[in-house]
Protein backbone atom coordinates (compact mmCIF):
# COMPACT_ATOMS: atom_id res chain seq x y z
CA UNK A 1 0.00 0.00 0.00
CA UNK A 2 2.79 2.41 0.88
CA UNK A 3 4.61 1.67 -2.37
CA UNK A 4 1.43 2.33 -4.35
CA UNK A 5 0.95 5.65 -2.57
CA UNK A 6 4.60 6.49 -3.28
CA UNK A 7 4.22 5.68 -6.96
CA UNK A 8 1.02 7.72 -7.20
CA UNK A 9 2.68 10.63 -5.46
CA UNK A 10 5.64 10.65 -7.85
CA UNK A 11 3.35 10.25 -10.85
CA UNK A 12 1.31 13.20 -9.62
CA UNK A 13 4.50 15.21 -9.15
CA UNK A 14 5.60 14.37 -12.69
CA UNK A 15 2.32 15.59 -14.15
CA UNK A 16 2.35 18.71 -11.99
CA UNK A 17 5.98 19.33 -12.93
CA UNK A 18 5.08 19.24 -16.61
CA UNK A 19 2.15 21.58 -16.10
CA UNK A 20 4.25 24.10 -14.18
CA UNK A 21 6.95 24.06 -16.84
CA UNK A 22 4.40 24.57 -19.58
CA UNK A 23 2.84 27.46 -17.70
CA UNK A 24 6.21 29.10 -17.24
CA UNK A 25 6.76 29.06 -20.98
CA UNK A 26 10.12 27.30 -20.77
CA UNK A 27 11.21 24.95 -23.53
CA UNK A 28 12.26 21.37 -23.04
CA UNK A 29 15.72 22.27 -24.36
CA UNK A 30 16.07 24.96 -21.68
CA UNK A 31 15.09 22.63 -18.86
CA UNK A 32 17.27 19.76 -20.06
CA UNK A 33 20.28 22.00 -20.34
CA UNK A 34 19.75 23.41 -16.86
CA UNK A 35 19.16 19.99 -15.26
CA UNK A 36 22.20 18.36 -16.85
CA UNK A 37 20.04 15.76 -18.60
CA UNK A 38 22.12 16.09 -21.76
CA UNK A 39 24.77 13.87 -20.17
CA UNK A 40 22.24 11.10 -19.79
CA UNK A 41 21.10 11.54 -23.39
CA UNK A 42 24.66 11.12 -24.60
CA UNK A 43 25.09 8.01 -22.46
CA UNK A 44 22.18 6.42 -24.31
CA UNK A 45 24.09 6.64 -27.59
CA UNK A 46 27.03 4.61 -26.29
CA UNK A 47 27.59 1.29 -26.77
CA UNK A 48 15.82 -16.28 -29.53
CA UNK A 49 13.21 -17.59 -29.95
CA UNK A 50 11.34 -16.12 -27.03
CA UNK A 51 10.49 -18.57 -24.31
CA UNK A 52 7.15 -18.72 -22.49
CA UNK A 53 8.52 -16.55 -19.72
CA UNK A 54 9.15 -13.76 -22.23
CA UNK A 55 5.50 -13.36 -23.14
CA UNK A 56 3.72 -10.20 -22.13
CA UNK A 57 4.82 -6.63 -22.54
CA UNK A 58 6.52 -6.05 -19.20
CA UNK A 59 3.97 -3.41 -18.17
CA UNK A 60 3.15 -4.95 -14.82
CA UNK A 61 2.61 -1.60 -13.13
CA UNK A 62 -0.33 -0.85 -15.42
CA UNK A 63 0.39 2.78 -16.23
CA UNK A 64 -0.96 2.40 -19.76
CA UNK A 65 -0.03 4.45 -22.80
CA UNK A 66 -1.75 7.73 -21.88
CA UNK A 67 1.21 9.26 -20.03
CA UNK A 68 3.26 10.25 -23.10
CA UNK A 69 0.19 11.96 -24.54
CA UNK A 70 -0.54 13.81 -21.30
CA UNK A 71 3.04 14.98 -20.86
CA UNK A 72 3.54 15.92 -24.50
CA UNK A 73 6.87 17.58 -25.16
CA UNK A 74 7.88 17.29 -21.51
CA UNK A 75 7.89 13.52 -21.41
CA UNK A 76 11.68 13.23 -21.80
CA UNK A 77 12.29 15.49 -18.84
CA UNK A 78 9.61 13.74 -16.80
CA UNK A 79 11.24 10.38 -17.58
CA UNK A 80 14.59 11.77 -16.41
CA UNK A 81 12.91 12.75 -13.16
CA UNK A 82 11.49 9.25 -12.66
CA UNK A 83 14.80 7.62 -13.59
CA UNK A 84 16.36 9.34 -10.58
CA UNK A 85 14.10 7.12 -8.49
CA UNK A 86 15.47 4.09 -10.32
CA UNK A 87 19.02 5.14 -9.45
CA UNK A 88 18.14 5.71 -5.80
CA UNK A 89 16.41 2.32 -5.59
CA UNK A 90 19.42 0.66 -7.20
CA UNK A 91 21.78 2.30 -4.71
CA UNK A 92 19.83 0.96 -1.74
CA UNK A 93 19.44 -2.49 -3.33
CA UNK A 94 15.65 -2.39 -3.71
CA UNK A 95 14.86 -4.54 -6.74
CA UNK A 96 11.09 -4.14 -6.52
CA UNK A 97 11.39 -0.35 -6.69
CA UNK A 98 13.91 -0.56 -9.54
CA UNK A 99 11.44 -2.60 -11.55
CA UNK A 100 8.50 -0.34 -10.73
CA UNK A 101 10.25 2.94 -11.52
CA UNK A 102 11.92 1.47 -14.63
CA UNK A 103 8.53 0.47 -15.97
CA UNK A 104 7.17 3.95 -15.28
CA UNK A 105 10.17 5.66 -16.89
CA UNK A 106 9.90 3.53 -20.03
CA UNK A 107 6.15 4.11 -20.17
CA UNK A 108 6.70 7.86 -20.09
CA UNK A 109 9.52 7.73 -22.66
CA UNK A 110 9.66 4.35 -24.42
CA UNK A 111 12.11 5.73 -27.00
CA UNK A 112 14.95 6.03 -24.45
CA UNK A 113 17.04 2.94 -25.19
CA UNK A 114 19.32 3.71 -22.25
CA UNK A 115 16.45 3.11 -19.81
CA UNK A 116 15.78 -0.33 -21.26
CA UNK A 117 19.46 -1.30 -21.36
CA UNK A 118 20.44 -0.07 -17.92
CA UNK A 119 17.29 -1.41 -16.26
CA UNK A 120 17.96 -4.85 -17.74
CA UNK A 121 21.59 -4.82 -16.62
CA UNK A 122 20.57 -3.99 -13.07
CA UNK A 123 18.19 -6.94 -13.03
CA UNK A 124 20.42 -9.47 -14.76
CA UNK A 125 23.74 -8.67 -13.11
CA UNK A 126 23.57 -6.36 -10.10
CA UNK A 127 20.61 -7.90 -8.31
CA UNK A 128 21.79 -11.42 -9.08
CA UNK A 129 25.01 -10.57 -7.22
CA UNK A 130 23.04 -8.98 -4.38
CA UNK A 131 20.84 -12.05 -3.95
CA UNK A 132 23.79 -14.43 -3.90
CA UNK A 133 25.61 -12.27 -1.39
CA UNK A 134 22.60 -11.86 0.88
CA UNK A 135 21.77 -15.58 0.80
CA UNK A 136 24.79 -16.31 3.01
CA UNK A 137 25.14 -19.84 1.65
CA UNK A 138 27.82 -22.36 2.64
CA UNK A 139 30.66 -22.55 0.13
CA UNK A 140 29.46 -25.90 -1.22
CA UNK A 141 26.03 -24.55 -2.13
CA UNK A 142 26.98 -21.24 -3.70
CA UNK A 143 27.58 -22.51 -7.24
CA UNK A 144 24.28 -24.36 -7.67
CA UNK A 145 22.30 -21.56 -6.08
CA UNK A 146 24.16 -19.03 -8.21
CA UNK A 147 23.02 -20.78 -11.40
CA UNK A 148 19.41 -20.74 -10.23
CA UNK A 149 19.50 -17.06 -9.27
CA UNK A 150 21.26 -16.10 -12.51
CA UNK A 151 18.58 -17.86 -14.58
CA UNK A 152 15.77 -16.19 -12.64
CA UNK A 153 17.25 -12.70 -12.86
CA UNK A 154 18.07 -13.22 -16.53
CA UNK A 155 14.41 -14.02 -17.16
CA UNK A 156 13.34 -10.74 -15.56
CA UNK A 157 15.84 -8.78 -17.63
CA UNK A 158 14.85 -10.53 -20.85
CA UNK A 159 11.17 -9.80 -20.30
CA UNK A 160 12.03 -6.15 -19.79
CA UNK A 161 14.18 -6.05 -22.95
CA UNK A 162 11.49 -7.81 -24.95
CA UNK A 163 9.11 -5.00 -24.06
CA UNK A 164 11.78 -2.55 -25.17
CA UNK A 165 12.28 -4.36 -28.48
CA UNK A 166 8.57 -4.01 -29.22
CA UNK A 167 8.78 -0.28 -28.56
CA UNK A 168 12.05 0.15 -30.48
CA UNK A 169 12.02 -2.54 -33.19
CA UNK A 170 14.98 -0.97 -35.04
CA UNK A 171 17.27 -0.73 -31.98
CA UNK A 172 19.98 -3.38 -32.40
CA UNK A 173 21.52 -2.73 -28.98
CA UNK A 174 18.48 -4.26 -27.27
CA UNK A 175 19.02 -7.52 -29.14
CA UNK A 176 22.73 -7.40 -28.40
CA UNK A 177 21.96 -7.02 -24.70
CA UNK A 178 19.61 -9.99 -24.83
CA UNK A 179 22.34 -12.00 -26.50
CA UNK A 180 24.86 -11.01 -23.84
CA UNK A 181 22.49 -12.05 -21.04
CA UNK A 182 21.87 -15.41 -22.67
CA UNK A 183 25.62 -15.89 -23.03
CA UNK A 184 26.85 -14.61 -19.69
CA UNK A 185 23.99 -15.58 -17.36
CA UNK A 186 22.38 -18.57 -19.05
CA UNK A 187 25.41 -19.87 -20.94
CA UNK A 188 23.17 -20.55 -23.94
CA UNK A 189 25.15 -20.18 -27.14
CA UNK A 190 22.23 -20.89 -29.45
CA UNK A 191 19.98 -18.23 -27.95
CA UNK A 192 22.85 -15.77 -27.78
CA UNK A 193 23.60 -16.36 -31.47
CA UNK A 194 19.94 -15.96 -32.38
CA UNK A 195 19.80 -12.56 -30.67
CA UNK A 196 22.97 -11.40 -32.39
CA UNK A 197 21.56 -12.57 -35.72
CA UNK A 198 18.53 -10.37 -35.11
CA UNK A 199 20.82 -7.48 -34.23
CA UNK A 200 23.09 -7.67 -37.27
CA UNK A 201 20.09 -7.61 -39.59
CA UNK A 202 19.10 -4.17 -38.31
CA UNK A 203 20.54 -0.97 -39.84
CA UNK A 204 21.53 0.31 -36.39
CA UNK A 205 23.80 -2.66 -35.64
CA UNK A 206 27.38 -1.74 -34.68
CA UNK A 207 30.12 -3.35 -36.75
CA UNK A 208 31.40 -5.48 -33.88
CA UNK A 209 28.07 -7.37 -33.62
CA UNK A 210 28.82 -9.34 -36.78
CA UNK A 211 32.23 -10.34 -35.44
CA UNK A 212 30.75 -11.54 -32.15
CA UNK A 213 28.03 -13.44 -34.01
CA UNK A 214 30.67 -15.31 -35.98
CA UNK A 215 32.41 -16.28 -32.75
CA UNK A 216 29.16 -17.54 -31.21
CA UNK A 217 28.35 -19.60 -34.30
CA UNK A 218 31.83 -21.11 -34.24
CA UNK A 219 31.60 -22.02 -30.56
CA UNK A 220 28.17 -23.58 -31.15
CA UNK A 221 29.67 -25.86 -33.80
CA UNK A 222 28.06 -24.05 -36.75
CA UNK A 223 31.36 -23.68 -38.52
CA UNK A 224 30.20 -23.07 -42.08
CA UNK A 225 27.84 -20.34 -40.89
CA UNK A 226 30.62 -18.81 -38.81
CA UNK A 227 32.96 -18.71 -41.79
CA UNK A 228 30.27 -17.08 -43.96
CA UNK A 229 29.50 -14.49 -41.27
CA UNK A 230 33.16 -13.63 -40.72
CA UNK A 231 33.78 -13.38 -44.47
CA UNK A 232 30.86 -10.99 -44.80
CA UNK A 233 32.18 -9.00 -41.84
CA UNK A 234 35.59 -8.64 -43.49
CA UNK A 235 34.00 -7.37 -46.69
CA UNK A 236 31.97 -4.84 -44.73
CA UNK A 237 35.13 -3.63 -43.02
CA UNK A 238 36.91 -3.31 -46.37
CA UNK A 239 34.01 -1.34 -47.82
CA UNK A 240 33.77 1.04 -44.88
CA UNK A 241 35.31 4.50 -44.90
CA UNK A 242 39.10 4.06 -44.55
CA UNK A 243 39.32 6.48 -41.64
CA UNK A 244 36.70 4.52 -39.67
CA UNK A 245 38.49 1.14 -39.68
CA UNK A 246 41.91 0.25 -38.32
CA UNK A 247 43.85 -1.80 -40.92
CA UNK A 248 45.16 -3.96 -38.06
CA UNK A 249 41.58 -5.06 -37.37
CA UNK A 250 41.10 -6.15 -40.97
CA UNK A 251 44.37 -8.10 -40.79
CA UNK A 252 43.28 -9.83 -37.58
CA UNK A 253 39.89 -10.74 -39.04
CA UNK A 254 41.57 -12.08 -42.20
CA UNK A 255 43.96 -14.23 -40.17
CA UNK A 256 41.11 -15.70 -38.15
CA UNK A 257 39.04 -16.27 -41.27
CA UNK A 258 41.85 -18.17 -42.97
CA UNK A 259 42.29 -20.37 -39.91
CA UNK A 260 38.57 -21.09 -39.71
CA UNK A 261 38.37 -21.87 -43.42
CA UNK A 262 41.12 -24.47 -43.06
CA UNK A 263 39.51 -26.06 -40.02
CA UNK A 264 36.05 -26.07 -41.57
CA UNK A 265 37.35 -27.62 -44.78
CA UNK A 266 39.19 -30.31 -42.82
CA UNK A 267 36.03 -31.09 -40.85
CA UNK A 268 33.98 -31.41 -44.03
DSSP for 111-143, please give it.
T-HHHHHHHHHIIIIIHHHHHHHHH---HHHHH
Domain that holds residue 214: 206-268
Nearest to 200 by CA among 190, 189, 208, 188: 208
Which of left, alpha, beta for 203 (phi over 0: left; psi -120 to 50: alpha)? alpha
| 80 plus 150 within the same structural domain | yes
The mean pLDDT of the chain is: 80
Let me know if residue 3 belongs to a domain. no
Look at the chain and report how many structural domains it folds into.
2
Write the CA distances from 100 to 22, 83, 90, 119, 226, integer angstroms.
Answer: 27, 11, 12, 10, 40
Decide if 253 contacts 233 (C-beta within 8 A). Answer: yes
Which residue did the predictor score with more confidence, 112 or 268? 112
Residue 76's pLDDT is 78
Q: Which of 153, 170, 201 is the last residue of a domain?
A: 201
Q: Which of 156, 173, 201 is the last residue of a domain?
A: 201
Let me know if residue 46 belongs to a domain. no
Residue 242's pLDDT is 86
| 215 plus 84 within the same structural domain | no
| 88 plus 194 within the same structural domain | yes
Let me know if residue 2 belongs to a domain. no
Query: What letters, b where the CB count within 10 A reaches 16 and e where it falls short, cover 126-137?
Result: ebbebbbeeeee
Let me know if residue 39 belongs to a domain. no
pLDDT tens string 199-241: 999 999 999 999 999 999 999 999 999 999 999 999 999 999 9
pLDDT tens string 47-92: 333 333 333 333 444 444 555 555 555 777 889 999 999 999 999 9
| 187 plus 159 within the same structural domain | yes
| 227 plus 169 within the same structural domain | no
| 164 plus 211 within the same structural domain | no
| 132 plus 216 within the same structural domain | no
| 220 plus 186 within the same structural domain | no
| 197 plus 77 within the same structural domain | yes
Let me know if residue 6 belongs to a domain. no
| Average of per-residue pLDDT across 230-253 | 94
Q: What band does 159 get if pLDDT is binned at 50, 70 and 90?
A: very high
| 121 plus 150 within the same structural domain | yes
Q: Which of 161, 186, 201 is the last residue of a domain?
A: 201
Amino acid sequence: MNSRRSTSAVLGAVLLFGAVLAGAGRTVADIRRDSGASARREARKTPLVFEDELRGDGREAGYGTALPLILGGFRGLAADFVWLRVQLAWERGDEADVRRWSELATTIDPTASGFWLNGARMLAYDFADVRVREAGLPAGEVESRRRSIDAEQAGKALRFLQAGARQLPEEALLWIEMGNIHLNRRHDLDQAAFCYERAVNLPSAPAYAERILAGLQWQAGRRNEAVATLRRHRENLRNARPESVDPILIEAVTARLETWERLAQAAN
